[in-house]
Structure 1
Amino acid sequence: METGYHILQPGTIRSSPYVYFTAELTHGELEAPVGVVRGLRLHNVRIDQEASFVRLSTGTGVQVRLYVDLNDCPDQQTTELLRESHSGEIRLDSPARKIFVNLHKHKYILFVDEKGILCSIPLLLLLAKQGIQTEVYYVQSYAKDSPKTLKRYAKSLDIPVRIIREWKRPSLSILLAERTIDTQLVVICRWPLYNNLVKLARELGFAKEDIEGYDNGDKEESVFCVRCYKLQRKPVESETSCLHCGASLSISNHYSERLEAYLGYVLCKE
């Protein structure tokens, strides 16, 4: 369901491709405090690209801060529309990704890569406004990958950003093991980095409810054959054949965290 807003103030993040709109809710209900939508409508023009948001409650109602990366714009006309819109109406799709914030936590630790910057910016704003201690760890995707926009924005909020150049389980284990008490972990990274970080955090004592975030990109899901106990890549279809024993399998909706796979039950042949 769409939500509608009246633009109060546009803006830009200095020396970056990001524009933002502060807007007041006019109809609908926005439940998630932070998230990402897959599309929006500005002045009745449909724009199919991701935008992130943060809900800002005021004494007179509900406001949002909406962020868009102009580098992701499909064409120059859309870019100009976003740059030049200083007032008017904006409508948002239902959130495709949501992050719920626990304001009772003493500290937040955020792991993010290049694809997660869009959603991390509104989250950092909310945490800063609430005075919650926050640490950001940026995971490089390649050698010269530099999160200039994220570092500049976080610095304006007095939040440190540290660079992780490669996955090193021992050093990350030490980092997380010292912070399991009263800490919320947020992971917004590509799969399988997201999966590895969440698994490590759970092993070190983070409860399931103490881990927020989502994976970006293609998720590598598996099916576990209950006949031969082996794994294979999960297809789009609800039925498949085991690549190892040849059994015809019905893929259930049950995901086993222990096996890290969906269960594939043997189909009964009449």
Structure 2
Amino acid sequence: MSGEAVFVSGKRKYVFCGDQQGIKILSSLIERVKEEELLLEIFLIEGGTEWSQLSKFLKDQKMGTYLYVVLPNEYIQKAEEVAEATGFSDEEAQYIGYGEKVTRVYCCRCHGIKEMKNAEEETLCEHCGLELSVSDHYSVYHNAVLGYVAKL
């Protein structure tokens, strides 16, 4: 869900979505697609863009379209949900977040979720006070990593 965009060859069309910074991050990839004279389209997501506009844009795309989305980390999950709802699978898209990242930690005892700006190895659950060891086990259902009991 984050990292660097990788070119995927053999697609019918390439769609690049992002804010100004996101499109800038994708610029070398956009240039490659242009050089190879492949079909491409750019959708600029600005502060006032409603997600419904992105949804409509993505619904109008045809099969064989490959999607790249680069946005601040706080918006990347919403963009992924919109793309998924319009029919884009994980194999047809790349989502890249930039900037400050918030990590959600799911407490194994009380099932509360704590948001952390700088993920540490251990933290206290703000709901039950249990000391948690932050794992790398991610739950799509909770949109969070699992926090195990740190000390018994």
Q: 2:69 aligns with which of 183, 187, 191?
A: 187
Q: 1:138 aligns with which of 44, 69, 73?
A: 44
- Segments of structure 1 that go 5 or more residues without pairing to the other structure are 1-96, 142-164
Matched, 1:196 2:102: no
Shift of 1:186: 0.5
2-structure distance, mates of 1:180, 1:192 = 28
- Segments of structure 2 that go 5 or more residues without pairing to the other structure are none
How many equivalent residue pairs? 149
Matches within 5 A, 1:72-221: 97-141=3-47, 165-166=48-49, 168-179=50-61, 181-221=63-103
| Bigger radius of gyration | 1
Q: TM-score, normalised by structure 1?
A: 0.51
Secondary structure of the equivalent of 1:137? strand
Q: TM-score, normalised by structure 2?
A: 0.86
Report if the CA contact (8 A) 2:104-2:113 is conserved.
yes
Report if the CA contact (8 A) 2:103-2:119 is conserved.
no
2-structure distance, mates of 1:239, 1:170 = 39
Percent identity of equivalent pairs: 28
Q: Deviations over 1:205-236 (max 9, x none)?
A: 22112222411210122101121112111343
Give the counterpart letter for 2:113 in structure 1.
L
Report if the CA contact (8 A) 2:80-2:95 is conserved.
no
Residue 127 (structure 2) aligns with:
244
1-structure distance, mates of 2:133, 2:62 = 39
Structure that is richer in helix per residue: 2
Shift of 1:268: 4.5
CA RMSD across the alignment:
1.9
1-structure distance, mates of 2:24, 2:52 = 29
Report if the CA contact (8 A) 1:109-1:183 is conserved.
yes
1-structure distance, mates of 2:143, 2:45 = 23
Asked which structure has the greater RCO (Cα within 8 Å, sep 6+), the reply is 2
Give the counterpart letter for 1:178 in structure 2.
D
2-structure distance, mates of 1:263, 1:130 = 43
